[in-house]
Amino acid sequence: MSIAAAITPPPQAAKRRLMSGNEAVARAVWEAGVRVAAAYPGTPATEMLEYVATYPDIYTEWSVNEKVSLEVAFGATMAGSRSFCAMKHVGMNVASDALMTMTLTGVTAGLVIAIADDVGLSSSQNEQDSRYWGRFAHVPLLEPADSQEAHDFTLAAFEISERFEVPVIIRLTTRICHVKGLVSIGERNERAATGFTKDVNRWVMVPSGASRRLPLMFERERRLRAEAENSALNVIEPGSDRRLGFITSGPAYMHVRESFPDAPVCKLGFTFPLPFDLLRRFAGKCEQLLVVEEVEPLIETELKAQGIIVSGKDFLPLIGELSPQVLKPAVARLLGEPVSAQAKAVPMQLFPRPPTMCVACPHLGVYYTLSQLRNVTISGDIGCYTLGFGQPWNALDVCISMGASMGMALGLDKGRSDVEKDQKIVAVIGDSTFLHMGMQGLLDIVYNRGNVTVLLLDNRAIGMTGGQDNPGSGRDIHGKEAPRVDFATLVKALGVRAERVHVVDAYQLPVLLRTLRAETKIPEPSVIITNQPCVLIKDYHALRPYRVIEDRCTGCGNCVDVGCPAIHVTRRDRVRKASGREVDLAFVRIESAACTGCGLCLQPCAPDAIVHVDALATPIKVVRKSSELVKAPQDV
């Protein structure tokens, strides 16, 4: 169930509430009088729109991708309505085509774009620094340091956006998005839409119009720099220990203040354009300067270009959060002080927990089946199913970004060597990812006659970010009924021949295996659609759970290879067959309280040792005795 379905808006009488950064941004969006908000789910940004959706005054939508969400928000500003758009850092890669022209046209009503960077790689394929977008697009960028600032900076961003007629980026990180703090809140400032004013010279960005807007963009940036110099969002905090002053922004400020409470700090909240005069004044108050920023040396590089002497990434790492455990030894080295053993940064020791899919996840059977194929290269995508690369399946070979499975699969097909001419190419993609950026890739495969078999895993949810709805689920962000995409019809419309399109129950392993084997032998594009829902959404209906009859289990381990977390290995043995070959055996039990009765483990079970919890075991010949070796699975 999504957060939007589980929470209610804060009571109007409350003035202070415990809020995460995501919730605080959403509250400020409502208070700012926003009328339209759009996003595509992506951790750590997902909850922003889920919280916004709880306020009835705002139109909200899950868009099919980040580019569309930004275009929807931009269209609303052209109509004179304040609007909001949220995404994680890699989402702006998708939306940047639209952003880079919006910076020329500017906006009328306020437009704020919240980008959440996953510093520390909690749930992302890279750790990019979204502060570059402010510089690249010539738009102002604000960086809150806690939940209160996330709220306040959002309100300030709308004011700046309208005063300078420019989109404003708020850059958050995972720590800001998810950590909670007390937030002082206000009430909604209702703003009516002012309407769309036609102006082709501004809104139609052909080269002649764009060239006239370029000088305006640079003039606006000059005025924004003056604004940053006097902004209350940039603060100098004096300190008694002037040996080293810190220039910092965002959550790194909290780490600096915790580590060095007596040091002078220049805390930047309005971080692009940088207030160089303010920073020069601060530099005059300190013997040395250290720039503490996550993760790239943007501020450091710009200050050095201005002739301001600073240290930064020559002492601090380019990756991860700059916690006190990182900062303290780095500063000790900078000041020439001894680094104590207690101060050294030591990776936190955690109990090893390899990521896995949920009990009864319909992707389990897909990857179990793929692991049975030989001579196959599997191109993967971004979603829960990315976990197919790991144990016990080892059934995914490449994965880089949303929708890339399609193009990579075509490239693997067209670029294969002569010795790989018989290699089968399979692309795996989820329903939401297919709608996000995969459709174009499939069209390219069809158009260029690629020999690729596509597994389209339709589980009716954006499972990895919490089960949000999408055009394939048949519900909108509020859970109301909405048109649902027919994937079989869609892929046929993209040019896949009807006889090469199959809809398969993800829990029917023999059918899935037969279909995969048949389609990978056909030298043309084919699509196999699995159609079972995510087990965490209301569309899924659990069945009677299963258990293992201990005396029937031969240790064949086939059920373990399915990868279901409800299956626990209770004992491992190594036996020697009559042929002399040693075989590893795994005896199991099923956690019935977790089992949902999907039956995936039942199908590969060689000795029929798995039954429903309430089924009576029929007498059988016991094949395991304490004084004898267990027969190998092949012999049972």
At 169-210, the pLDDT tens digits run: 999 999 999 999 999 999 999 999 999 999 999 999 989 888
564 is in an annotated binding site: yes
361 is in an annotated binding site: no
Per-residue pLDDT at 627: 29
Whether residue 516 contacts residue 367, with contact meaning beta carbons closer than 8 Å, is answered with no
598 is in an annotated binding site: yes
601 is in an annotated binding site: yes
- Report d(CA 201, CA 210) in Å as an integer: 8
- Report d(CA 629, CA 428) in Å as an integer: 41
How confident is residue 607, by pLDDT bands cut at 50, 70 and 90?
confident
How confident is residue 597, by pLDDT bands cut at 50, 70 and 90?
very high
Whether residue 120 contacts residue 250, with contact meaning beta carbons closer than 8 Å, is answered with no
> Residues near 382 by Cβ (< 8 Å), separated by ≥ 6?
125, 399, 401, 402, 433, 464
- Report d(CA 521, CA 518) in Å as an integer: 6
358 is in an annotated binding site: no
- Taking alpha carbons only, the member of 425, 488, 416, 429 closest to residue 451 is 425
**Predicted confidence (pLDDT) at residue 548 exceeds the cutoff of 70:** yes
What pTM was estimated for this model as a whole? 0.86
Per-residue pLDDT at 345: 54
Per-residue pLDDT at 346: 58
The single-letter DSSP state of residue 475 is: B
Q: Show me where the domains of the chain are located.
A: 3-229, 235-334, 362-530, 546-635
Count other C-beta atoms under 10 Å from residue 440's C-beta. Answer: 12
**Do 3-229 and 362-530 agree at the fold level?**
yes
266 is in an annotated binding site: no
User: Which fold is adopted by the domain 3-229?
Assistant: Rossmann fold (3.40.50)
The answer to whether domain 362-530 has CATH 3.40.50.970 is yes
C-alpha of 578 from chain center: 51
Could you tell me which CATH number the domain at 235-334 has? 3.40.50.920
Q: What percent of the chain has pLDDT over 70?
A: 92
- Taking alpha carbons only, the member of 484, 600, 514 closest to residue 502 is 514
The single-letter DSSP state of residue 420 is: G
Whether residue 264 contacts residue 246, with contact meaning beta carbons closer than 8 Å, is answered with yes
Per-residue pLDDT at 200: 92
Count other C-beta atoms under 10 Å from residue 82's C-beta. Answer: 27
Could you tell me the two tokens for 62?
A: 């899950």
Q: What average pLDDT is seen over the chain? A: 90
